[in-house]
Structure 1
Amino acid sequence: MAYRLHVWIHQISPMIWRRLLVRSDSTIADLHYTLQIAFGWSDAHLNLFHIHGQDYGVYHDGGTSFSTDPDQVRLCDFRFRINERFRYEYDFGDGWHHEVRVEARLALDDRRTYPRCIGGNRRAPPEGCGGPLAFMARRDAVPSHVEDLLEDIRDDLAANDIEAVRDRGEDIEALREWLTLDEFDRRGVNRRLKQYATHDDSWMWQ
């Protein structure tokens, strides 16, 4: 069967969320990589799932060791009930805590490739931004940063200092990802999920 999962990041408003279809025989490792792709994380930090009082996860050098092999533990082994929840943590420094809720158990559709993202809203925060509270503070300050930058550019243009305008390219690029936080490319996510499902390693380099 398939599970329909609703996943969101704690302590962030408006909510950043994804709705996913995953096979019940997929593994902890599969779910980890599915969530990395769905939220656009880079898998550069430590991770863990906390399910039924035990921790599971995909090992990273220098990180937490787990008592189970993530390639051997399947989701169906947990016998999840409808509306049951568990936690996924990514980047213990920034502390991105994802709530995962099992919304439904569904028959597999032979026309679909699993896993699949069927809904979502907003991009995940930029990595290394300091966690949920720091993210929201920086996000809310973006309009004033944009106004300051535009004022600086206007001053440069008034002084006919085109070189100074060009030098502000890095500032503009730094703001770009913060200005597109409300965007969510579900097609792009599903393209990468299909590459993962079909063992096309190019999903890792996007």
Structure 2
Amino acid sequence: MTNNKQQTTINIPAPLLSSEENSFAYYTFTSRLPIIIEQVIAANNFSPAILEKLNKLKAGLLVELVHPIDDQGPDIIDWKDYLQPFLGKPLIELPFYFAEVYLYRRLLAITEYFASPTAEAIDPFESQKRHSLAKAITSIRQVSIKLDNFPTLSAERNEQWQLALRHLLYLNLWGNRMDLSFAPKEVGKLEQQVLDPKLKQSQIILDDTGLIVDKISSFHHNRIDFIV
């Protein structure tokens, strides 16, 4: 029996590599990640041995080779499988997202995060998280109020409801910019841009918010989660 159904071929582009100059991936490895490592060093009281490893990693990001992760982490078996195709290759030649995640996992290994019982584990990013949270707490409260008020608008999907939905979609988009590589003072500037989407409207290359709002408006008894 012959299957006459047409098969659709999707041409998926090659993954973005960190070695592509003038790309965000290259900028991340040459600027953002070294800053993150510096912040980890400055915010923690690590031993000289750990500091030496962190400084070596920061200085050699563009020439660092991929090697197995060897610590007591519960994910160590999974990482062994993940890394198998890339062992011995330059880190910068890996697909960008995987390379970045691998680097963060390396940071945990170097700082011996899994070497102690869970209750004693030191989060190398704790100080940065606390400072950023303290700086953004006012905006977090404002966003929480918007989220709390949204269900009361859902009964009538009127213009006010659509405007509220648009704002949540923009919060979802621009909230993704909040990153550990931003200093707390920079978070303060970004949060105002996030709370007032009009400030960043001109920077959206393709805006299908209207289509999304129309689609969601047609839903009934569906659950939609917003990550902001």
What TM-score does the superposition give when structure 2 sets the normalisation length? Answer: 0.25
In our comparison, the structure showing a higher alpha carbon Rg is 2
Higher relative contact order (CA 8 A, sep 6+): 1
TM-score, normalization: structure 1? 0.27
Larger helix fraction of residues:
2
The structure whose residues are more often strand, as a share, is 1
